[in-house]
């Protein structure tokens, strides 16, 4: 037990240690958006695109550039998925995805969700794994971080229409952060045992004489962007539970640290760019407080095990020779501790890769990923997680301002009706999509045929699917057969709503704050760089974000927990 606590502390300490240099580096990338110190590959990129890197963009143009370029990328990847039969490197002869599935896949990867209604090894060729999936994973993540750069820049401005230049932000994040990090990490992953080859299989004759077909491919280059980009789609069906996607406990902890890297670093970037370091750490702290709470819950639930399995004769006790706990759907090399850490990280940083089957978690263990995706702001995905937290921060100063009867201020700007309307649009789009689509699916006649588990758990599978889609997470209670036209279309829409109904209103809100004058802090100003504010912020996230979903959670994991415990 002490070892496990030590491991958790070590991971959080390394994460904090990495957040500082990474955050400073990102701030330099974004700060330089105003000068002309472009790197050679960046200048080449601007020339290839035909854009002027010195153009200044208002929020509307910045947002449109993001939206339209993402649309073009999504369309291109859709086309490539449909043309898989004509592309090379298809050693297994996999057929192209059907139109509804290809739409779902393209929407999923451009929105940084990486929900997969297909199993990688049985559906995609090495060519589409590279040109459709790896490509979109870079696009979605880079666009998210770029947007956070524009967003933070807007917060740092006063009386200005200028949000920066989207192309510069995108290309700098791509060339200075994503590509170099992914390349180095991919080689470390290969060292740990991940394949990186263009051939698609190796055939073995097992010790007992059977034939075993091992699927190979460019896995390591896929895995590094998958986690640094908080993407999360798997090369293989079982994602990072597959020994080739996650061969050792070391690769597992590297996955975890890369998922947390950019979301945690952006709080430092914020503190640096606004010269409010303390404020950045307050945001960082509120992330960590929530994260530790959820980690403790999922770890204790899984280590305690499943009383029904104990009654069936399974020994789930932790001892010197076994880790114990609920091992259904888990890998032995990770055990309970590394699985719990992965479960809470992947749904906090909304990556969505899994190193265990979430469908087989205990009810309270499964409650944690659901709740973190519903809150969507415990770290959150690359870029958007930080934007979500700011949305809650503005809501917090608004509520505090209402209590004392003063116009709320945030970062020296007055928060007025327009900002609150935009924040509320973003806050409400999230539950509206999750609960609306879940309700629709429950009424849809064919849904029952897609469920693999009866009762409350079956409902949780549907709820999980739309929560994961809307939160742009991508993990699943994978027993749900989601490859039907109904689920492909509705989850595809949920992903697009979840992404753009958060991102665009918040960019508009930042644009509106940037245009305002800074007001000097007065005696009535509520200071936001204090532990008190941190506590209030966590409280608002839990109450506003959490209460909305309480009835739905009660019908799923809470009921199932009671069922599991009944004698």
Partner 1 sequence: MNTLNIPAPLAPATASPLQGLLGPCVRGALFVLLITGVAYPLVTTGMAQLVLPHQANGSLIRQGAVVVGSEHIGQWFEGAAYFHPRPSATRTPDPRDASQTVAAPYNAAASSGSNLGPTNPALIASVQERVAAYRQANGLAADAAVPVDAVTASASGLDPHISVANAQLQAVRVAQARGLSLALARQLVQQHTEGRVLGLLGEPRVNVLRLNIALDALKAGKE
Check if the beta carbon of residue 517 is closer than 8 Å to that of residue 157: no
Angle (nearest 5°) at CA 82 between 80 and 84: 65
Check if the beta carbon of residue 173 is closer than 8 Å to that of residue 146: yes
Q: Which is nearer to partner 1, 359 or 419 (by Cβ)? A: 359
Per CB under 8 A, contacts with partner 1 among 399-438 are none
Residue 95's Cβ-count burial label (10 Å; 0-12, 13-18, 19+) is exposed
**In the bound complex, what is the minimum distance in angstroms from residue 114's beta carbon to partner 1?**
15
> Is 534 a binder of partner 1 (CB under 8 A)?
no
> Is 204 a binder of partner 1 (CB under 8 A)?
yes
Q: Site for partner 1 (CB under 8 A): which residue of 43, 183, 546, 554?
A: 183
Q: Which is nearer to partner 1, 59 or 526 (by Cβ)? A: 59
> Is 196 a binder of partner 1 (CB under 8 A)?
yes
Per CB under 8 A, contacts with partner 1 among 29-48 are 45, 48
Calpha distance 497→308 (Å, rounded):
40
Check if the beta carbon of residue 323 is closer than 8 Å to that of residue 285: no
Buried b (16+ CB within 10 A) or exposed e, 321-337: eebbbbbebbbeebbbb
- Which stretch, 20-28, 324-332, 403-411, 434-442, contacts partner 1 (CB under 8 A)? 324-332
Check if the beta carbon of residue 173 is closer than 8 Å to that of residue 54: no
**In the bound complex, what is the minimum distance in angstroms from residue 539's beta carbon to partner 1?**
31
Bridge partners, residue 204, by sequence? 212
Lookup: tokens for 448: 């029952």
> Is 312 a binder of partner 1 (CB under 8 A)?
yes
> Is 203 a binder of partner 1 (CB under 8 A)?
yes
Q: Which is nearer to partner 1, 59 or 501 (by Cβ)? A: 59
> Is 125 a binder of partner 1 (CB under 8 A)?
no
Half-sphere exposure of residue 404, counting CA atoms within 13 Å on the CB side?
Answer: 13
> Is 88 a binder of partner 1 (CB under 8 A)?
no
User: Reduced to 3 states, what is the DSSP secondary structure of residue 408?
Assistant: coil
> Is 519 a binder of partner 1 (CB under 8 A)?
no
Binding mask 231-260 for partner 1 (x = CB under 8 A): -----xxx--xxxx--xxxx-xx-------
Helices within 32-58 (DSSP H only): 40-49
> Is 181 a binder of partner 1 (CB under 8 A)?
no
Check if the beta carbon of residue 114 is closer than 8 Å to that of residue 469: no
> Is 546 a binder of partner 1 (CB under 8 A)?
no
Q: Which of 430, 548, 434, 427 is nearest to 491 (CA)?
A: 434
Q: Which is nearer to partner 1, 277 or 453 (by Cβ)? A: 453
- Which stretch, 198-206, 403-411, 505-513, 530-538, contacts partner 1 (CB under 8 A)? 198-206
**In the bound complex, what is the minimum distance in angstroms from residue 480's beta carbon to partner 1?**
8
**In the bound complex, what is the minimum distance in angstroms from residue 87's beta carbon to partner 1?**
11
> Is 488 a binder of partner 1 (CB under 8 A)?
no
Helices within 157-248 (DSSP H only): 166-173, 179-192, 219-228
**In the bound complex, what is the minimum distance in angstroms from residue 302's beta carbon to partner 1?**
10
**In the bound complex, what is the minimum distance in angstroms from residue 111's beta carbon to partner 1?**
15
- Which stretch, 31-39, 100-108, 187-195, 261-269, contacts partner 1 (CB under 8 A)? 187-195
Q: Site for partner 1 (CB under 8 A): which residue of 445, 454, 523, 567?
A: 454
Calpha distance 204→433 (Å, rounded):
47
Residue 46's Cβ-count burial label (10 Å; 0-12, 13-18, 19+) is middle
What residues contact residue 414 under an 8 Å CB cut-off, 6+ apart? 407, 408, 516, 519
> Is 448 a binder of partner 1 (CB under 8 A)?
no
Q: Site for partner 1 (CB under 8 A): which residue of 13, 95, 308, 448?
A: 308
Q: Which is nearer to partner 1, 253 or 423 (by Cβ)? A: 253
For residue 208, give the DSSP letter: T
> Is 207 a binder of partner 1 (CB under 8 A)?
yes
Q: Site for partner 1 (CB under 8 A): which residue of 54, 322, 407, 518?
A: 322
Helices within 379-446 (DSSP H only): 384-404, 417-443
> Is 69 a binder of partner 1 (CB under 8 A)?
yes
Q: Site for partner 1 (CB under 8 A): which residue of 54, 197, 407, 530?
A: 197
Calpha distance 39→18 (Å, rounded):
24
Alpha carbon of residue 301 to chain centroid: 23
Q: Site for partner 1 (CB under 8 A): which residue of 17, 99, 455, 527?
A: 455
Q: Site for partner 1 (CB under 8 A): which residue of 112, 267, 306, 344?
A: 306
Q: With contacts defined by CB under 8 A, how many residues of the chain interact with partner 1?
A: 129
- Which stretch, 312-320, 376-384, 388-396, 423-431, contacts partner 1 (CB under 8 A)? 312-320
Lookup: tokens for 553: 């959670």
Strands (E), 341-478: 409-410, 413-414
The dihedral over CA atoms of 285, 287, 288, 292, expressed in degrees to the nearest 10, equals: 140
Check if the beta carbon of residue 381 is closer than 8 Å to that of residue 349: yes
Check if the beta carbon of residue 422 is closer than 8 Å to that of residue 508: yes
Q: Site for partner 1 (CB under 8 A): which residue of 103, 167, 291, 466?
A: 167
Binding mask 334-373 for partner 1 (x = CB under 8 A): xx-xx---------------xxxx-xxxxx----------
């Amino acid at each position: 037990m002490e070892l496990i606590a030590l491991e958790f502390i070590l991971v959080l300490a390394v994460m904090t240690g990495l957040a500082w240099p990474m955050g400073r580096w990102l701030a330099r990338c974004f700060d330089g958006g105003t000068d002309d110190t472009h790197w050679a590959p960046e200048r080449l990129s601007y020339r290839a695109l035909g854009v002027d890197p010195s153009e200044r963009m208002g929020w509307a143009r910045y947002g449109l550039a993001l939206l339209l370029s993402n649309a073009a990328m999504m369309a291109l990847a859709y086309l490539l998925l449909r043309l898989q039969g004509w592309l090379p490197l298809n050693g297994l002869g996999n057929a192209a995805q059907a139109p509804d599935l290809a739409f779902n896949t393209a929407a999923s990867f451009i929105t940084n969700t990486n929900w997969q209604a297909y199993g990688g090894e049985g559906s995609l060729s090495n060519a589409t794994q590279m040109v459709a999936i790896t490509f979109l994973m870079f696009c979605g993540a880079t666009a998210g971080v770029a947007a956070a750069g524009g967003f933070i820049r807007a917060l740092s401005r006063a009386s200005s229409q200028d949000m920066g230049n989207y192309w510069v932000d995108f290309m700098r994040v791509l060339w200075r952060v994503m590509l170099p990090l992914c390349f180095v990490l991919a080689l470390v992953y290969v060292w740990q045992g991940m394949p990186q080859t263009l051939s698609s299989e190796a055939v073995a004759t097992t010790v007992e004489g059977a034939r075993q077909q091992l699927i190979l491919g460019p896995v390591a280059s896929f895995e590094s962007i998958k986690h640094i980009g908080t993407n999360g789609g798997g090369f293989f069906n079982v994602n990072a539970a597959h020994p080739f996607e996650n061969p050792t406990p070391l690769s597992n902890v590297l996955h975890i640290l890369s998922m947390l890297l950019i979301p945690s670093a952006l709080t430092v970037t914020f503190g640096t760019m606004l010269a409010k370091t303390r404020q950045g750490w307050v945001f960082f702290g509120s992330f960590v407080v929530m994260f530790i709470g959820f980690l403790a819950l999922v770890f204790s639930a899984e280590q305690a095990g499943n009383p029904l399995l104990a009654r069936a004769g399974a020994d789930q006790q932790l001892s010197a020779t076994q880790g114990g706990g609920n091992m259904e759907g888990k890998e032995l090399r990770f055990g309970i501790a590394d699985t719990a850490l992965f479960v809470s990280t992947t749904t906090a940083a909304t990556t969505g890769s899994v190193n265990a089957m979430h469908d087989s978690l205990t009810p309270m263990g499964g409650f944690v990923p659901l709740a973190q995706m519903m809150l969507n702001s415990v770290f959150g995905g690359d870029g958007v997680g930080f934007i979500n937290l700011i949305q809650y921060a503005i809501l917090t100063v608004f509520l505090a301002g209402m209590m004392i009867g003063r116009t709320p201020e945030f970062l020296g700007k007055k928060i007025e009706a327009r900002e609150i309307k935009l924040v509320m649009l973003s806050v409400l789009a999230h539950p509206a999509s999750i609960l609306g689509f879940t309700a629709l699916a429950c009424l849809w006649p064919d849904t029952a045929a897609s469920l693999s588990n009866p009762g409350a758990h079956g409902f949780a599978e549907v709820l999980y699917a739309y929560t994961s889609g809307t939160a742009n997470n991508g993990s699943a209670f994978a027993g749900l057969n989601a490859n039907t036209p109904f689920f492909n279309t509705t989850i595809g829409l949920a992903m697009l709503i979840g992404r753009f109904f958060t991102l665009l209103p918040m960019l508009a809100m930042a644009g509106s704050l940037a245009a305002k004058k800074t007001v000097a802090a007065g005696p009535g100003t509520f200071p936001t760089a204090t532990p008190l504010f941190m506590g209030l912020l966590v409280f608002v996230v839990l109450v506003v974000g959490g209460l909305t979903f309480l009835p739905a959670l009660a019908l799923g994991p809470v009921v199932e927990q009671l069922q599991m415990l009944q004698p």
